[in-house]
Amino acid sequence: MKTRITELLGIRYPIVQGGMMWVGRAELASAVSNAGALGTITALTQPTPEALSIEIDRVRSMTNEPFAVNLTILPTIKPVPYQEYVRVIIESGVKIVETAGRNPEPYLPAFKAAGIKVIHKCTSVRHALKAEAIGCDAVSVDGFECAGHPGEDDVPNLILLPAAAAQLRIPMLASGGIADARGMVAALALGADGVNMGTRFMATREAPIHENVKRQLLEHDERNTALIFRTLKNTSRIFRNAVAEQVLELERREGTTFADLKPLVSGERGKRIYETGDTDDGTFPAGLAIGLIHDIPTCDELVSRMVAEARELIHRRLATMMDKASNETACVL
């Protein structure tokens, strides 16, 4: 396949695995990249900048294909030495960075000077235009369906993507709610140059998380997510489990602050879920795409299937509809 995204990133298929805290490690990123898509490791999953440098080396030992590093600039419980992570990314010779969470402007001059392509992930047309204006090479537009932080505007991708495509000049990835070829073809039709997926890539053989978590994604459907932190204006879409229900209950109470929620939502508890498989031990992100996940393929099987089915959809289903329509019009005329 050839789109502005495959050209920009030097990948075979316009499919990107988005940054995922604790999940985006070398095993997953290299498998995605080896499948012809773009794998991403998540910088802050590594406890220190030095550990990130080692993880980047690990990806390189597992693939010769392009890969990215995600740098998420969100408010965190512990302060993060962002400049140090940026230094390691640059010194390691990484060529693609996905930024998210906040305006990446302070880090752009250094990334640009190093020839790094920056994809900024955002959740609104105005933020996408801002990313373009400050010099990002591409944007990843996350609709309301997405896992993690959908923003506060609640605009789903059927509207958000064409609205953004109408104004943007740089390439755009569609993100949120995509799990198969149907979503990919729809996203391309809506104006995207490629797709970004998180939840779908969690349920792959190479995702370095406990099998129970993957099974939970298979066993539940699109109704099983929860939007927490709405009261803090920092909304996050997570898997709806017992802890998510507790958080929602606390948020319904007048005067609840982050301090009240903190023990329930700590990153350490989320990390433990992926290690032990006890999915009620804390919270973890998941998007509406869980309704579309019915198996646990390898990344290669997933990517190949999406590309083959996209081809079928475009050349057979959609093309015949058009032919049929024009034939019927011809008969009427």
Ligand X SMILES: Cc1cc2nc3c(=O)[nH]c(=O)nc-3n(C[C@H](O)[C@H](O)[C@H](O)COP(=O)(O)O)c2cc1C
C-alpha 107/C-alpha 243 separation (Å) is: 36
Residue 95's Cβ-count burial label (10 Å; 0-12, 13-18, 19+) is middle
Query: Does 206 interact with ligand X (rule: CB under 6 A)?
Result: no
Looking at the Cβ atoms of 19 and 39, the one nearer to ligand X is: 19
Query: Does 18 interact with ligand X (rule: CB under 6 A)?
Result: yes
Residue 314's Cβ-count burial label (10 Å; 0-12, 13-18, 19+) is middle
Angle between helices 26-34 and 299-312 (to 10 degrees): 40
Query: Does 217 interact with ligand X (rule: CB under 6 A)?
Result: no
The tokens of 43 are what? 């910088």
Query: Does 23 interact with ligand X (rule: CB under 6 A)?
Result: yes
Query: Does 145 interact with ligand X (rule: CB under 6 A)?
Result: yes
C-alpha 295/C-alpha 3 separation (Å) is: 28
**Binders in 297-326 for ligand X, by CB under 6 A:** none
**Which of 19, 151, 171, 282: binder of ligand X (CB under 6 A)?**
19
Looking at the Cβ atoms of 72 and 241, the one nearer to ligand X is: 72
**Binders in 249-308 for ligand X, by CB under 6 A:** 284-287, 289
Query: Does 203 interact with ligand X (rule: CB under 6 A)?
Result: no
**Which of 38, 136, 139, 147: binder of ligand X (CB under 6 A)?**
147
C-alpha 275/C-alpha 208 separation (Å) is: 9
Q: Which stretch binds ligand X (CB under 6 A): 79-87, 193-201, 291-299, 304-312?
A: 193-201
Question: Are 203 and 218 in contact, with CB atoms under 8 Å apart?
Answer: yes
Looking at the Cβ atoms of 69 and 113, the one nearer to ligand X is: 69
**Which of 30, 42, 46, 231: binder of ligand X (CB under 6 A)?**
42
Query: Does 148 interact with ligand X (rule: CB under 6 A)?
Result: yes
Query: Does 144 interact with ligand X (rule: CB under 6 A)?
Result: no
Looking at the Cβ atoms of 16 and 307, the one nearer to ligand X is: 16
C-alpha 257/C-alpha 222 separation (Å) is: 29
**Binders in 64-123 for ligand X, by CB under 6 A:** 70, 72, 100, 121
Query: Does 160 interact with ligand X (rule: CB under 6 A)?
Result: no
Query: Does 202 interact with ligand X (rule: CB under 6 A)?
Result: yes
Q: Which stretch binds ligand X (CB under 6 A): 161-169, 172-180, 244-252, 294-302?
A: 172-180
Cα three-residue angle 110-25-39, rounded to 5 degrees = 70
Name residue, tokens 């795409």: 289
Query: Does 225 interact with ligand X (rule: CB under 6 A)?
Result: no
3-state secondary structure of 238: strand
| Torsion over CA: 233, 234, 240, 242 (sign) | negative
**DSSP H or E segment with residue 218:** helix 211-219
Query: Does 199 interact with ligand X (rule: CB under 6 A)?
Result: yes
Q: Which stretch binds ligand X (CB under 6 A): 169-177, 222-230, 293-301, 322-330?
A: 169-177
Name residue, tokens 């605009």: 155
Query: Does 20 interact with ligand X (rule: CB under 6 A)?
Result: yes
Task: Give the residue closest to ligand X by C-beta.
Answer: 198
The tokens of 19 are what? 């940054």
Neighbours of 129 (CB within 10 A): 17
**DSSP H or E segment with residue 309:** helix 299-312
Q: Which residues bind ligand X (CB under 6 A)?
A: 18-21, 23, 42, 70, 72, 100, 121, 142, 145-148, 175-178, 196-200, 202, 284-287, 289
